[in-house]
Structure 1
Amino acid sequence: MNKVIITTDSTCDLSDELLEKYSIKVIPLYVMFGEESYLDRVNITTEKLYELVEEKGILPKTATQPSEVYYEFFKQFIDEGYSVVHVSISAKLSGSYQQSYLASQRFEEGQVHVVDSMSLSSGVGLVAMKASQFAKMGLSAEEVAEKAREIAPRVQTAFVIDTMEYLYKGGRCSGIANFIGTLLKIKPIIHMKDGAMEVGEKPLGRKKAYELLLNKIYRDKDNLDPEFVMVTHSLNFETAEYLKAELRKNLEIENLYETVAGCTISSHCGKGTIGILYITKE
């Protein structure tokens, strides 16, 4: 049997329990407040992130690991006899893909495969969990990576943003500046398209926004891959319970997981953000 291990970065927003269940290893990215730097999931939590925002009055910035750190991260698994399939946050959103790819080139051909998830948050996690399932089936690293790349464009991502300040100042989402000064009740829905974030609908109020979020997955009901559906949020527990109840009532889902967005994603989307992420069959 092929020894294949799945790795990803801390933007995957999978809980520790899910990482353990699917045998996925994580490399943390950096979260920075001025001169102070933290490692996502290691020495800073999402709760602590927002405490620091209040305390310091500034928004955090994020940074990837350099290729040398990725190299050492991969090497520990190569030394144990594994081939690595690394699932990265979208190459259009972060330098993480480039740095991990550069590191992969230092190994013998076929030892490390880097997959661009074309997604963020638990969209990255979905691709990683699928890759884990393929690895458990005994596929080679090359076959796992190929299948993961086939799945990546089918990941559906939609988040309701509760506050626009983080996205606007982060500059990673096209179109957000067009209505930043308009009605504060607008709760934009952010989608991923071709690996980049873009503003979708601009509903007034949370109730309408959550309704649109649910309607998106309902429209895909017949095309839904039922194995995994994610409800991921930045400390919006009450709405997560509501969305999960609605999804269970209206859809046949094998594994419906709730996860909390880590510091990397929360740094760019802000408190209260919540999304539904899933994979379509085609």
Structure 2
Amino acid sequence: MIKITTDSTCDLPYHLLEQYDVSVIPLGIVKGDRLYQDGINIHTEDIAAHVDAGGDITTTNAVNIADYEDLFRTMTARYDAVIHLNLGMGFSSCYQNAKLAAEEVPEVYVVDSANLTVGHGILVLAAAEAAAAGKTVSEILAMLEDMVSRVETSFVLDRLDYMKKGGRCSSVTALGANLLKLHPCVEVIDGKMSVTKKYRGSMEKVLAEYVRDRLAGRTDIDTKRVFLVDTCRTPGLVDVARKALLADGRFEEIVESQAGCTIFCHCGPDTLGLVYLRKK
């Protein structure tokens, strides 16, 4: 049997992780002078309360080599092989650490998702489905290699103060965006984040426009499944995006998921994104 493992940044809903017996190793979250484990002893509401009270932005820590090695040794004692899917190497050293750990443990295969949140998770789910269907290691790795470049991940931010506190944008940029009610659309391209568009207005208006923009006139989208991932605290925002997806009507399945602490640290509340595959 093949075991699928992954980082907490995959942001897949718990019921899917449980259904396919996917083991998740948490990234570290640093709040104040204490190290927490993503989704274990710290959650997004804890980070939001800390920042709202004037606290410094929380930061993230990659999983270390020793923890990966412990995970891999535990799983290879019970399974024929382990395939571990990492948060993209452009965002963290998790992939490099997992690769070094895998050198010490036979039959462990590490895959760079080149993505984040459910852009990473969509690959985890595909690997887990393939493993459950009895595919071999080589078949699953070939499938993932084909899929990585076809994952389309984008999201819209409501506010930039988390990005500013984390050093990912300037104070002037954040202030200007807030004054003008600008909401950047960020897309993962070639393993890196890029701002591809800026929306203006209320988040309700922006999210409806964003979903339409991502899908309008597209004939290259694999319509089997779309992920709707968010950090929304404002009531109704997810409903707006869901309604726009349902109005489009092309997707066989809409999977909704909440982004975890690692993503929340950088994006803050009321961020929402879409993830799907492009056709071959």
Common fold by TM > 0.5: yes
CA distance in structure 1 between the aligned counterparts of 2:116 and 2:97, rounded to whole angstroms: 17
> What is the aligned partner in structure 2 of residue 262 from structure 1?
260
CA distance in structure 2 between the aligned counterparts of 1:214 and 1:54, rounded to whole angstroms: 29
> What is the aligned partner in structure 2 of residue 215 from structure 1?
212
> What is the aligned partner in structure 2 of residue 193 from structure 1?
189
Where structure 1 has 5 or more consecutive residues not aligned to the other structure, the ranges are none
Once the 2 structures are TM-superposed, how far is the Cα of residue 140 of structure 1 from its aligned partner? Answer: 1.4
Q: What is the SS of the residue equivalent to 1:38? A: strand
- 53-62 vs 177-186, which deviates more? 177-186
1:212-251 map, 5 Å:
212-219=209-216, 221-236=218-233, 238-251=236-249
TM-score, normalising length: structure 2: 0.92
Once the 2 structures are TM-superposed, how far is the Cα of residue 56 of structure 1 from its aligned partner? Answer: 5.6
- What is the number of residues matched between the two proteins? 275
Q: What is the SS of the residue equivalent to 1:198? A: strand
CA distance in structure 2 between the aligned counterparts of 1:74 and 1:44, rounded to whole angstroms: 24
Question: CA 1:183–1:53 in structure 2 vs 1: closer, same or farther (change >3 Å)?
Answer: closer
> What is the aligned partner in structure 1 of residue 49 from structure 2?
51
Question: CA 1:93–1:220 in structure 2 vs 1: closer, same or farther (change >3 Å)?
Answer: farther
Task: Give the % identical residues.
Answer: 31
Once the 2 structures are TM-superposed, how far is the Cα of residue 217 of structure 1 from its aligned partner? Answer: 3.3
CA distance in structure 1 between the aligned counterparts of 2:214 and 2:195, rounded to whole angstroms: 17
TM-score, normalising length: structure 1: 0.91
Question: CA 1:84–1:216 in structure 2 vs 1: closer, same or farther (change >3 Å)?
Answer: farther
Partner of residue 29 from structure 1, selected from 4, 27, 30: 27
Question: CA 1:171–1:89 in structure 2 vs 1: closer, same or farther (change >3 Å)?
Answer: farther
> What is the aligned partner in structure 2 of residue 164 from structure 1?
160
1:267-278 map, 5 Å:
267-278=265-276
Question: CA 1:209–1:242 in structure 2 vs 1: closer, same or farther (change >3 Å)?
Answer: closer
- 191-200 vs 236-245, which deviates more? 236-245
Q: What is the SS of the residue equivalent to 2:215? A: helix
Where structure 2 has 5 or more consecutive residues not aligned to the other structure, the ranges are none
Amino acid at match of 1:136: A
> What is the aligned partner in structure 2 of residue 67 from structure 1?
65
Contact 2:20–2:132, Cα closer than 8 Å, also in 1: no
Contact 1:229–1:253, Cα closer than 8 Å, also in 2: yes
Q: Deviations over 1:44-74 (max 9, x none)?
A: 1111221222346111000011111001111
Q: CA RMSD in A?
A: 1.8
CA distance in structure 2 between the aligned counterparts of 1:89 and 1:139, rounded to whole angstroms: 23
Q: Deviations over 1:208-267 (max 9, x none)?
A: 532442134313642222232111111345211221122122122222111111111100
Contact 1:59–1:166, Cα closer than 8 Å, also in 2: yes
CA distance in structure 2 between the aligned counterparts of 1:200 and 1:244, rounded to whole angstroms: 22
1:81-160 map, 5 Å:
81-108=79-106, 111-160=107-156
CA distance in structure 1 between the aligned counterparts of 2:62 and 2:268, rounded to whole angstroms: 19
Q: What is the SS of the residue equivalent to 1:162? A: coil
